[in-house]
Structure 1
Amino acid sequence: MSMRIGIIAAGLGASVLAGCGGPSRVNPAPTPPTAGVTAANETELAFGLLMQGKEGSAAGKLKSILKRDPMNPTATMLAGSIKGDPKDLLGPQSYPYTVRAGDTMEGLAQRFLGNRLKAYQLVRYNGLRAPVTLAGGQMLRIPGEPPRPEPVRRAEPEPARPVAAPAAPKPRVVAVKPAAPATNPGTNPVAARQLRTAGLAALNQGGVDRAVGLLRRAKQLDPSNPLIARDLTRAERIAATVRARK
């Protein structure tokens, strides 16, 4: 009996020594979490999908963004670019534009609409399907009024100076300037549209208060414009929501 107990004890000791002498087990270091994707990156990715013609994938990503942040102005604008009527978004009036070498839809949207993220609206406005590759000489319609060319000033010939006898000095007459009439700016649809474009750009960039101020000035200059009234109402609603969150 005592011999059996000794054998068991020896076996246990050998097992303990083998365990102590074996390689130590170190828990692997936890994998660092992947850095989160910002909302700006997500909206940029959604815009890229739209310009590639992947409207369904872009709509799904925008839906996910708006579920987390219902008042995200950029995601709201891009979602409207898919569902909204382009003429309601950009206005019914337009003028022709001949594409030049190197033009892109994003570049034209930035140049004429003040925001390159409106490129998909411009694609739909022209009845095209993304992806779009522009070619020199291609005709597009640009929303709004055409820019007015500056008048060319022609140099007038200097009149010949007649040689005459010196005239008698004339009495000095002091001209009395009439009082300036009271200014009344009235309506200015062109300036109103420019302010609307700047206001929408500020709203898309998160400057809600600035957007409200610009759109209010635009409405003062063109009070009968329904698009300006609609954009002002939406901007004021977003501003109220932002203030309520604070």
Structure 2
Amino acid sequence: MNAGEEVGKGAVVLVVEDEPSIADVLAIALRYHGFEVVWASCLLQARARVAERRFDAVLLDVMLPDGDGRAFGRELRDGHPETAVVFVTARDAPAEIVGALGFGDDYITKPFHIDEVVARITAVLRRTRPADVLPARPPLTYGNLELDETTYTVRRADRPDGPRVEVQLTPTEYALLRFLVRNGGRIVPKEQLLRHVWQYEHQAESTVVETYISYLRRKLAPLGPSLITTRRGVGYGLAAA
């Protein structure tokens, strides 16, 4: 069994795609790698599928006959934060991509290679696999920050003796923060973050790291001083605890 099959085993993916031929190819490839696949051809069907059962990941076309897939992505993030969302889009403008990543975990541009789709879904699930299939782990702490690796929740206090308040993060935001915490006060090069958080190789020009760092800073800002530091031209780390 290969790595993709190990991750895919037991994982359920909702494919939201209005082109039956594309949906068939995606379903065949994902099932070959051990995923259970459910298909929806429009947003109306997708909402019904989500109401019926829980999904580990949603592969979501942005342009659908009954609306913009990004709106459904927002609904998933609000109502099902444990579900990973991977957008499929024919739009490759930076503004479109950054906008989608605000409530998704990854994106794939058309035309795509089917192996890339499987690899992206596999990579996302490696970092977002739900707690019910993972053994309990002790929380990670860094100063007033606490990460619960069993429930994938983050809490931070705004002062040393204050109560910790939960911070709502997407699965990818959580994975990025967790990797920074595990590296303590060390500056982590951008290329290393791309490899370990996104499983990207040789994509040093990608802006995905900067995008997610800005999301984390915005969400952590109300609960204390700036936590994430930047070493320009090198990477990112955490301020002294």
Please indicate the TM-score interval, normalised by the length of the shorter structure: under 0.3
Report the structure, 1 or 2, having the larger helix content. Answer: 1
Superposition TM-score, scaled by structure 2 size:
0.25
Report the structure, 1 or 2, having the larger strand content. Answer: 2
Instruction: Mark the structure with the bigger radius of gyration.
Output: 1
Superposition TM-score, scaled by structure 1 size:
0.25
